[in-house]
Structure 1
Amino acid sequence: MPTPIQRVSERIAFAARTAFDRLPPEMVVSAFGVQYGHLSTAEGGDLFVTRLGWPMLDRLLPSQWYADGWYASHGSQLKGSTGNVYRVASRPAGGKSLDLVVKFSRMAQEVPLEVSTGFPDNVPPEVIANARFNSPMEEFGLVMELRGGGAAPELPRMLTQKPLAIYVPPETYQLWELGRSRSRFENHGHMLSRDQEHATKAIELDIRRMYVLVYGWIKGLDAEDAAEDAGLDAADLERLTVEVIAEMHERGFRVLDNKPKHFIVRPLRRGGGLLHREGALVYGLVDYELLQRTTEHQEAFWSRRRQIYRDLFRRRDEPSPASSATHLRPGRVFGVDYLYAETPDGGRVWTVGRNPGLFDYFLASRWHRTPRTKLSPRNEVYATRTRDGIDIVYRKSNVGVRPRADPFERRGRQIREHGYNSPFETVAIAEALRRKGIAATVPLAITRTGHHSGTARFLHDARRFRVHEPFRTPGAPAEPILIPDFDYYTLWASFGCSGQEAGATVDLETARARELLDDAEFKALAGQSRADLVALGIAGVPIANHEFLLSTDAAGRLERDARGKTRVALAMDALTAFEYQVLKEDRYQDLLRRISGQLGTLGVQKLDFSGNDVLVLLGLDGEFLAGPDGEISGTLCSFELMRGFEGLIGEPPEGVPGI
């Protein structure tokens, strides 16, 4: 029987001969957008190797550069660097060494940062005051994003050191030995844990262990050292610093202590001067522990993600191309097409449509822990902006719970007799109503949690589970789509944006990010919109800029009146509009009667119908969005207690009775 050390050696040998894309899932972890191959080392430490480093694994093993203090005894500490940073050639493997930069992370240490008043970057004082060193995984994530172009991927790639590996030696230390603050460390831990949520194998930071980052060496000299040979004076170095800062800003990044020591240039061997290509100075950027995104890049990042999402959403019913992800399996339930997959935490996701590009947007890790607003006093219904900047509404399904309605009141008896519709029924109802010309919110996905969540026996209603039992998940092993003791959520496009009216509206923040508005007009419009709300009697309500909606034409341009002004609207339910007295009782009652009548012509009844179930768009001029007939347009958003829909949705499988 092999010893533990032998098993580790066998594992490393297996890794060394296996391509990164062929590693078993239990060896691959991900953090801040970077994938790593994870190895336990013979010394008892942990080694995380990026895709860039994986082909050089034999020289990145700690035995090749860390053991016995090799990095210090055979390397040199980089002068002018802050912290412990070394350049070292690894021990040879296969007759080859590797030039490395070994950097000990200063995560959770105090930042001794003072920026002179002459520093050429306009960094707000509060950013300097709250400066922190990046954690190792966060730093690698930011560097990889910068290498990819950040906010401007069309620009030439910015040269950086290649992030190769992160090594965590097995030894533990007291906090004072590492200079760490527990509160600072906890902030890093929370950031990483949020990023790791729902991961099959999560990375956890250990406050008592060191973290060593390994980069590839960039040939050349830092700009300060090269200045004399290249004939550069202080003014030249300042101009270079300004140039680098500007190029980083174009890509949406900044370094809080940017300086010529961080710019690697290449002196020419003959004639002096520095290497240029196509008239531009060739330089590399080093030292990333204070690298961060600019505020503008963060906003633009969300805008791009939203635009990508909108483009995918418009094509959500297109068949999956042959190159689509193989873990997504197509299926159909009640006439609605889905792409289905299991998630690493044991959950399940059904994405409405056939476009595989939409799937990752609806994983629970993208929306379940983001700040949310509760929309219903009775049910778990929340509005949130996902980590990708997409505005959605998610509802916890009541399926399997007996409705708590008065059995001695006619409507209460009807509700109890019918029970709550399943998430698959609610999605099918919404899609069917939209096909029939009745406005309804747009379903995006259904998710099921990976953990059990039981219901008290006296509340349990098993009827929907029996009816749905013949419906099975696609692929093998197949299982019922609806299983008791799990929580189901339906995800919906936020009314008025994010696909609900693709090409018809755009929120105020996105309009600025897409340069439909300049900064001055954005600020003026945001201020005027809030003033208009107060004039309408809607005061003291916190409204975010992304909640204000602007009309756009078919080409995506803002619609403007003869005076060049654009109309601003706010989405709300009809009952809220009535309570704020912007929707009068007669129009409120008429709106509900009209929609109830439209449902009735289809044989459908909403058993608990109220103004909460109808969404409207209020123009800040006090007028509601109206249809061609001049009547207020209302959009249905609740489908759990509808009955009489059986003839509208797809046929159930053979042997499944109607409800």
Structure 2
Amino acid sequence: MEKTLSKKSLVNVLGVVYVHTKTSDGGDLYLTRFAEPYEEHFDITNWYEKNWFDEHKIRLKGTSSVYRLPTKEVKGKSLDLVVKNCRVGEDVPLDTHTLEEFCDAEFNSPWEEFSLVTEMRENTYGPKEMRVNTQRPMAIYVPPEKMQFWQSGRSREKINRIRAKHPGIDLDILKQYKLIYEWIKGKNLIEVFELINVDSTELVSHLKKINYMGIGDLNKKGYLVADMKPEHIIISEENTERIKEIGSAQDIDAPRKQTELLYQLLNDGKYSVIDYELLSRTPEHEDAVKSSRRHSYLDDQLNRFTPTPLPTHLSYKEIFGVPYIYGHAESTGGRLWVVGKNAHLFDYFLPERWRKTPSIRLSFSKEVFYTITKDNIHLVWKTSRVGEMHNIEENGSYNPKIRQFGINSPFEEFALSYELNRTGIPCVYVRAIYMTGSAKIEPSTDMRRYESHKSILDPEGNPILQENHNYITIRGYYNGPDQWVAEHSDALYTPIDLYKATYRGIIDGAECQKLLDEVKEKLKNAGYNGSLLKTNDLLLAIDDKGDIMKNSSGKPEVIICNFELIWKIPS
């Protein structure tokens, strides 16, 4: 392979900062702060070159694709690494007992895994005097090629389930991710006990006891590993040698002394835990993190239009009068525009925070879903229909206005919400626009929006609207005005559209029609055509007593939640 110099950039994914470069084979390499001083060692020609990799890799016992691998020498130094394939999207092979306890266990994405390991190393949760020692997370390498389904080892059922839940954003699971850790010099518990002369019954007893000790220590620090086993507990080379020396002495009591030393090391925390693909937080820790992040999120949303310093991997861009923080979604190769000028908000909308969380479909005819993210944030996301030629309404009738004006782009939708809120016409809060990294499967048939947007470029010089990608709009799940929500942790409002409110008897049919007509009239007076709005495009907010949120005039506050078919009236 020919070495090439590549432009470096800093990216922050889930709180971990990486140096990102394109590799000579067209792949992507993300170096953590631990690997950055050894950047040349991680050039793929120095570890992933085929002949070197095949000749020097050592498959670790009990694994199918985890290897110990030395790098080539660079300036007289070689690094010992552990290289493993990320198994995100695959079925988790747990035994029956473990499966009952961790029925929702899923393999972490590479970004989630490195984030959790980094968090655990920072020792911010649980007793400060305790520390869980880990391998140092060094790098993530993403080869340029995509796998076929049959190559991936990922179940078709799981892929189909993800596709059904998250249209347009699932194909990134066909990428291969290689996680690279630093090798810890030492032996795992199984190997350590090979140095201690105990019978099989004692061995099993010790291994179970020590494994539970490790699980207990992890729990105290706020973490779980769904498949924790003795092979995941490492005793350092130095301490392994001490155990070996005791066994070498001609002492009938050596096994007892060896096991006592081993237990002492474990009680003192002098061991390391490896294998983090099923690492997660305990429920208590997860709740604490979610609560903290949700409160931080609400504060940041209140101040979303107050500029914050921009890290180098993010940019500022204004589109149709709406300010955005722009950056890459590194896990999928997508792009993300987050409304506002507050860079702290960017990470909350990365796809790995909401793409795998349970969701509820809100529409029979459109891809609109409600979810609670991993940060305990209530969001609604919708696959944009921009580029589709819709001239038939849901009831099958023909409407020439849809063909005449077309479906708005996500950026036009957000501009409408932004401007209407400013003019006093209540709308849901728009939060972010996500462009998928994977190619759009179905071709666009209405090219007008792509033509009208082609001169509007992102900070990297690409058109913001690209016909070969899907776009997903993310808005807040309306539970009250932002200021009010930030001041109330419970008893929030619940949104319900006019159609359902009528069906449930909260309002009658006459009031429903009156509220719809009033919104259309307000839009017309403000210079907008909202004639195609329907009752399920408008929301009421209901409190915990069943009362409707009122505006300053004492009338029901009606909130617009769909902007696809609202158009500015030409002057």
Matched-pair contact (CA < 8 Å) for 2:234–2:274? no
1:127 counterpart (102, 117, 131): 102
Q: Report the equivalent of 1:606.
A: 530
The one-letter amino acid of 2:323's match is D
Whether 2:233 is the aligned partner of 1:262: answer yes
Alignment of 1:473 with 2:457, yes or no, is: yes
Aligned to 2:539: 615
Q: Is the 8 A contact 1:572 1:616 kept in 2?
A: yes
CA drift at 1:575: 0.8
Q: In structure 2, how many angstroms separate the alpha carbons of the residues matched to 1:64 and 1:182?
A: 19
Q: Superposition pairs for residues 210-221 of structure 1, below 5 Å?
A: 215-218=182-185
Q: Of the candidates 426, 429, 432, which is equivalent to residue 445 of structure 1?
A: 432
Ranges in structure 2 where 5+ consecutive residues have no aligned partner = 143-149, 197-202, 243-256
Instruction: Provide the aligned length of Structure 1 versus Structure 2.
Output: 518
CA offsets per residue over residues 228-286 of structure 1, 9 Å max, x none? 9xxxx9999988765542331233222534449825377698xx997999x98232323
Q: 1:40 to 1:486 in 2, by over 3 A?
A: closer
TM superposition score normalised by structure 2? 0.65
Q: Determine the structure 1 residue equivalent to 2:224.
A: 253
Letter in 1 for 2:224: F
Distance in 2 between residues matched to 1:477 and 1:200, nearest whole Å: 23
Q: Distance in 2 between matches of 1:482 and 1:89?
A: 44
Work out which of the residue numbers 559, 562, 566 in structure 2 matches 1:638. Answer: 562
From the CA coordinates, give the structure whose radius of gyration is larger. Answer: 1
Please point out which of 107, 113, 135 is paired with 1:161: 135
| Percent identity of paired positions between Structure 1 and Structure 2 | 23
Distance 1:461 1:642, change over 3 A: same
Structure 2 CA distance for partners of 1:318 and 1:167, relative to 1, 3 Å: closer
Counterpart in the other structure of 2:298 = 310
Q: Corresponding residue for 1:515?
A: none
Residues 66-125 of structure 1, C-alpha deviations (whole Å, 9 max, x = no match): 7797788xxxx99xx75699999988764556566799999989969697xxxxxxx673
Local SS of the residue matching 1:495: coil
The corresponding residue for 1:393 is 381
SS at match of 1:317: coil
Cα deviation, residue 331, structure 1: 2.2
| Residues 122-521 of structure 1: pairs in structure 2 closer than 5 A | 125-127=100-102, 142=113, 145-149=116-120, 153-154=124-125, 157-163=131-137, 185-186=154-155, 203-204=175-176, 215-218=182-185, 244-249=214-219, 250-254=221-225, 256-259=227-230, 262=233, 264=235, 281-288=268-275, 291-294=278-281, 296=283, 306-321=294-309, 323-325=310-312, 328-333=315-320, 335-340=321-326, 349-359=336-346, 361-362=348-349, 373-377=360-364, 379-385=366-372, 390=377, 391-398=379-386, 401=389, 403-404=391-392, 420-446=407-433, 451=439, 454=443, 456=445, 460=446, 462=448, 468=452, 472-473=456-457, 477=461, 489-496=472-479, 501-502=481-482, 504-505=484-485
Q: Deviations over 1:25-71 (max 9, x none)?
A: 9xx9x999897879799xxxx99895445655659737999779778
Kindly state the Cα deviation for residue 443 of structure 1 after the two structures are TM-superposed: 1.8
- Three-state SS of the structure 2 residue aligned to 1:393 is strand
**Matched residues in 2 for 1:221 and 1:448: separation?**
44
How many angstroms apart in 1 are the aligned matches of 2:333 and 2:277? Answer: 37
User: For the Cα contact (< 8 Å) 1:443–1:493, is it kept in 2?
Assistant: yes
Q: 1:347 to 1:55 in 2, by over 3 A?
A: closer
Task: Mark the CA change 1:404 to 1:220 in structure 2 (over 3 Å): closer, same or farther.
Answer: closer
Distance 1:248 1:592, change over 3 A: same
CA shift in 2, pair 1:255/1:32, >3 Å: farther
Distance 2:8 2:461 in 1: 23
Kindly state the Cα deviation for residue 309 of structure 1 after the two structures are TM-superposed. 3.6
Note closer, same or farther for the CA distance 1:219–1:501 as it changes in structure 2 (3 Å cut).
farther
- Contact in 2 for aligned 1:100/1:216 (Cα 8 Å): yes
Residue 246 (structure 2) aligns with = none
Look up the match of 2:47.
61
SS in 1 for 2:547: coil
Secondary structure class of the residue paired with 2:540? strand
For residues 396-451 of structure 1, what are the alpha-carbon distances to aligned partners after superposition, in whole Å with 9 as ceiling and x for unaligned?
Answer: 24567464479xx9x96777766555544432332222223332111223455675
DSSP-derived class of the 1:148 partner: helix
Contact 1:86–1:103 under 8 Å retained in 2: yes
- Residue of 500, 506, 515 corresponding to 1:582: 506
Q: Could you say if the C-alpha distance between residues 262 and 65 of structure 1 is closer, same or farther in structure 2, counting changes exceeding 3 Å?
A: farther
Structure 2: distance between partners of 1:478 and 1:69: 42
Indicate conservation of the 8 Å contact 1:396/1:490, yes or no.
yes
Single out whichever of 372-381 and 260-269 deviates more from structure 2: 260-269
SS in 2 for 1:149: helix
The whole-number CA distance in structure 2 between the counterparts of 1:183 and 1:346 is: 18
RMSD: 6.1
Comparing 367-376 with 618-627, greater Cα deviation is found at: 367-376
Structure 2 CA distance, aligned partners of 1:47 and 1:597?
52
Contact 2:82-2:183 within 8 A present in 1 as well? yes
TM-score using structure 1 length: 0.57
SS at match of 2:271: strand
State the 1:616 CA deviation.
1.6
Secondary structure of the residue that 2:556 maps to in structure 1? coil
Return closer, same or farther for 1:431/1:227 CA change in 2, 3 Å cut-off. Answer: same
Residues 218 and 284 in structure 1, CA contact (< 8 A), matched pair in contact too: no
Cα distance in 1 for partners of 2:94, 2:405 equals 66
- Structure-2 change in CA distance of 1:88 and 1:613 (3 Å): closer
Residues 594-639 of structure 1 deviation map (CA, whole Å, 9 limit, x = unaligned): 5445445545552024321221233454433334554333212233
1:204 partner letter? Q
SS of 2:557's equivalent in the other structure is coil
Q: Residue type matched to 1:338 in 2?
A: Y
Local SS of the residue matching 2:419 = helix
In the alignment, the residues of structure 2 paired with residue 586 and residue 242 of structure 1 have an alpha-carbon distance, to the nearest angstrom, of 65
C-alpha distance after superposition, 1:444-499 (max 9, x if no partner): 2345567576555xxx584x677x469633657475x6677876554322222xxx
When structure 1 is superposed on structure 2, of 260-269 and 418-427 the one drifting more is: 260-269
Find the aligned partners of 1:236 and 1:94 in 2 and give their Cα distance. 44
Asked whether the equivalents of residues 357 and 374 of structure 2 are also in contact (C-alpha less than 8 Å), the reply is yes
Distance 1:214 1:201 in 2: 21
Structure-1 separation of matches of 2:86 and 2:470: 41
What residue ranges of structure 1 are gaps of 5+ in the alignment?
1-7, 116-122, 169-180, 206-210, 506-552, 559-566, 647-657
Distance in 1, matches of 2:526 and 2:457, equals: 30
1:352 shift after superposition: 2.4
Query: Aligned-pair distance for 1:576?
Result: 0.8
Counterparts of 2:341 and 2:31 in 1: how far apart (Å)? Answer: 32
